[in-house]
Structure 1
Amino acid sequence: MSPGDCGKISIFVLVDALGWEHLRNHEFLTDILPFRSPMDTVLGFSSAAIPTILSGQMPEVHAHWCLFKKARFLSCFSWTVPLALFPERLRENHRTRRAIGGLTRVMYRISGYFCLYEVPVSILHRLDYVERKDLWQPGALAGCPTILDALSSRSIPYSTSGWRGTDEVRVELCLNALSRMPVQCCFLYLSELDAALHSFGLDSKQARDELVAASVRIRRLLARAHQLYSQVELFVFSDHGMNAVTEAHDLQSTLASQGPKRSHYLAFFDSTMARFWPKNREIGGQLEEVLSSLSYGRVLSESELSELGLGFSGNEHGEIIFIMNPGHIVAPSFVSNGVPKAMHGFHPSDSFSRACFLSCKELASTPRHVKDMYSFFETQLGLQRE
């Protein structure tokens, strides 16, 4: 391709966990992205926020919230039932978990982000995995089109880095795609800031270094685009913010000593929330009584869940939802046995939960919520939802 022959390109960069409050304390691409504003996000994690960004729909519509949900019938983990007969030291170890993950991924052709974390093998057969398809490919959300479906259905050329590999690998994929053929837009996903914030904290040198690394990679992509395209427009945004962890609570032990028997309910202990499926209403009442007595979190009502776009028609995502107060986490959890320096997934109303939107130009209408990104993509690319 000759320099400048390729017309216009829009570059969309999702920097995972680049929160508005965190961003305000750093100089990050201010010379090329002068127009910036906060965006509200969804309750949950990237597993909910990214589908919302790509589809413009809330989790109750696109059906992606947490990575794990209660299995309705047979799940991709049904084959693990016999493992319950194994001694705990053989069943609940990292080698077994890696083997289960690898076999499940192959057997069910899972192309999406897939990780078993510290989920007990003994309950896997009662759970199902949500993100089975690559979110950065068309057809990822069953019955709910994404911007990638819209582009593909119109045969509009685009490139995407996907989620696999390191940030450097994903940038190289986009650079190679731009050089290989003309595209109307490019989607780049950067995730290593999120990892640095979890491991080292908001004010750490490692987090500052990752911000610098992200800015260098974005500038490289921008420079290459300017060599090939006559008009280049850059937009950077995030899926959620990040909050410093101030205190950890062993919710599992609390419920073991004060709540009903564990065999009377299924639970999933995430880092900032816990979801429960009691055997019956009486057990549910006992759980809620204990949870309501805890000062570091609260049970979400059905009306609040609906307001948050989590009014699911079924109960596979949880019958009782307990959310931690900002800065407080569940530890140990099914995600990690340790305590991170920072975490996301708190209530969207907390200022540190807010995502951000950065633009190279002033817009008539700026996204105010991550779900508004779909409409922004449509407007920027001249599309209309069919």
Structure 2
Amino acid sequence: MSDTKAPKISIVVFIDALGWDVLKGRRFMDARLPFRRKLQSVFGFSSACIPSILTGLRPREHRHWSFFYYSPATSPFKPLRLLGLLPRSLVDRGRVRNLISKVVKRFYNYTGYFQLYNIPFKYIDKFDYCEKNDLFVPGGMNRGQNIFDHLKRAGVPYHVSNWRDPEARNLEALKADLITGKITFALLYMAAMDALLHQVGKESTQVDQKLAWYEAQLEEVLRIAAEHYDQVRLFVCSDHGMATVHTQVDLMSKVEALGLAFGRDYTATYDSTMGRFWFHNPATRERISTLLQQVPGGRTLPQQELEQLGCDFEGNQFGELIFLMDAGVLIVPSHMGVKPITGMHGYHPDHPDSDASLLSNVEPPHDPKAITDIFHLMRAESGA
């Protein structure tokens, strides 16, 4: 071991949506990262997957899943209901929604990812939001401890990216800490692949170009790390994959055609890949359930399956009924967006398009099989 180098650094690189099927047929750091594993994701969007990676827990344990859930008693959004009196052509514009989201986030001092998306303002006082705190700091979880709680308690000198910053800035921040030789563990956050795949789909040559850019950047990270550490252990992981959208379903209009009163008979959120319903009388549940049985390209998830997926929540927090679309079927319009996109995730974790990836230059510990195992890998690599 060199007298001028630190002994070891373990670097975990999180690339959002770098799915196993996205990598299929593509070359990406094959020689550098010969150990390659397919990991099963968890059911839900990144708002569920990332907390599971950071804690090793399933959604019902850490209590992070879809962003919005029915809870009029705790809703912080009651003042926003007045915006429902304004023309939707104004308040539903993307720029207007983003501006209002920033104001709300600052007013309530939310430190996590926060976006109002397209929840109608006239109903927004019926909902609460699950990611109010920064997930990437100690104490950031709704329940349970994340890797940063363990790193802090163990006194491990570490680096973590600012998830709000662009990828280039996160790369430069990591390089600066590597040059000091003082950290022994690093988590690099790279989010742009997810947005690209939503826009162009996994078959696009733009994905190959982005992978080539990642490879060049990580080669430079490895070069700098090797100058300051005797051993450099590199792991590249993801949270889910991406399916190509082939069908659109207007689920919202189908439900509204029943003539039921939103907020009195039922409440619903329409995510991109699922409808989540709360019922305020038994007859409403029966009518909506019967309707959903006739909607092609999706199915209602039984309680037993939700239990197996780790998504059976106390008090039906995130929905009394979950109607999930088949992979490649998109709900349009939804409360997450009003326009169709090319790629989407948030489908059943058993579908191949949902599988995540783990690539490394050393054999990963504990034979990881699911994204929850990335947490145990990080603990083992950091000594936390």
With structure 2 as the length reference, what TM-score do the two structures score?
0.95
Q: Find the residue that maps to 1:151 and give its secondary structure.
A: helix
Kept in 2: contact 1:41–1:354 (CA 8 A): yes
Kept in 2: contact 1:158–1:183 (CA 8 A): yes
Separation in structure 1 between the aligned mates of residue 372 and residue 14 of structure 2, nearest angstrom: 14
Q: Find the residue that maps to 1:314 and give its secondary structure.
A: helix
Deviations 1:44-81 (A, max 9, x none): 11110010011000000100001112225232312213
Separation in structure 2 between the aligned mates of residue 31 and residue 221 of structure 1, nearest angstrom: 16
Separation in structure 1 between the aligned mates of residue 351 and residue 24 of structure 2, nearest angstrom: 16
How far residue 93 of structure 1 moved from its aligned partner, in angstroms, is 3.7
- The corresponding residue for 2:111 is 111
- The runs of 5 or more residues in structure 1 that have no matched partner are none
- The runs of 5 or more residues in structure 2 that have no matched partner are none
- The corresponding residue for 2:50 is 50
Separation in structure 2 between the aligned mates of residue 241 and residue 223 of structure 1, nearest angstrom: 29
How far residue 95 of structure 1 moved from its aligned partner, in angstroms, is 5.0
Kept in 1: contact 2:241–2:354 (CA 8 A): yes
CA distance 1:73–1:179, shift in 2 (3 Å): farther
How far residue 317 of structure 1 moved from its aligned partner, in angstroms, is 0.7
| Amino acid corresponding to residue 317 of structure 2 in structure 1 | E
Q: What is the aligned residue count?
A: 382
Q: Find the residue that maps to 1:149 and give its secondary structure.
A: helix
Task: State which drifts further: 332-341 or 255-264.
Answer: 255-264
Separation in structure 1 between the aligned mates of residue 102 and residue 379 of structure 2, nearest angstrom: 37
Separation in structure 1 between the aligned mates of residue 73 and residue 261 of structure 2, nearest angstrom: 24
- The corresponding residue for 2:288 is 287
With structure 1 as the length reference, what TM-score do the two structures score?
0.94
Separation in structure 1 between the aligned mates of residue 47 and residue 26 of structure 2, nearest angstrom: 27
How far residue 90 of structure 1 moved from its aligned partner, in angstroms, is 4.4
Deviations 1:128-158 (A, max 9, x none): 1211112111111034111111001121110
Kept in 1: contact 2:85–2:122 (CA 8 A): no
- The corresponding residue for 1:312 is 313
Residues 87-102 of structure 1: matches in 2 within 5 Å? 87-94=87-94, 96-102=96-102
- The corresponding residue for 1:376 is 377
- The corresponding residue for 1:164 is 164
How far residue 364 of structure 1 moved from its aligned partner, in angstroms, is 5.4
- The corresponding residue for 2:123 is 123
Q: Find the residue that maps to 1:31 and give its secondary structure.
A: coil
- The corresponding residue for 2:31 is 31
Residues 171-182 of structure 1: matches in 2 within 5 Å? 171-180=171-180, 182=182
Separation in structure 2 between the aligned mates of residue 194 and residue 142 of structure 1, nearest angstrom: 24
Deviations 1:211-239 (A, max 9, x none): 11122222221211111111110001110
Percent identity over the alignment is 36
Q: Do structure 1's residue 351 and structure 2's residue 352 form an aligned pair?
A: yes
Q: Do structure 1's residue 273 and structure 2's residue 290 form an aligned pair?
A: no
Residues 177-196 of structure 1: matches in 2 within 5 Å? 177-180=177-180, 182-196=182-196
Q: Do structure 1's residue 247 and structure 2's residue 263 form an aligned pair?
A: no
Q: Do structure 1's residue 322 and structure 2's residue 323 form an aligned pair?
A: yes
Deviations 1:149-194 (A, max 9, x none): 1001121110011311221111112112223451110001111111
Q: Find the residue that maps to 2:315 and give its secondary structure.
A: coil
| Amino acid corresponding to residue 48 of structure 1 in structure 2 | A
Kept in 1: contact 2:56–2:374 (CA 8 A): yes
Q: Find the residue that maps to 2:187 and give its secondary structure.
A: strand
Kept in 2: contact 1:171–1:188 (CA 8 A): yes
CA distance 1:360–1:9, shift in 2 (3 Å): same
Q: Do structure 1's residue 211 and structure 2's residue 202 form an aligned pair?
A: no
CA distance 1:72–1:126, shift in 2 (3 Å): closer
Kept in 1: contact 2:9–2:231 (CA 8 A): yes
Q: Show structure 1 runs of 4+ deviating over 6 A.
A: none
Kept in 1: contact 2:61–2:143 (CA 8 A): no
Residues 217-232 of structure 1: matches in 2 within 5 Å? 217-232=217-232
CA distance 1:69–1:207, shift in 2 (3 Å): same
Kept in 2: contact 1:4–1:230 (CA 8 A): no
Separation in structure 1 between the aligned mates of residue 223 and residue 113 of structure 2, nearest angstrom: 30
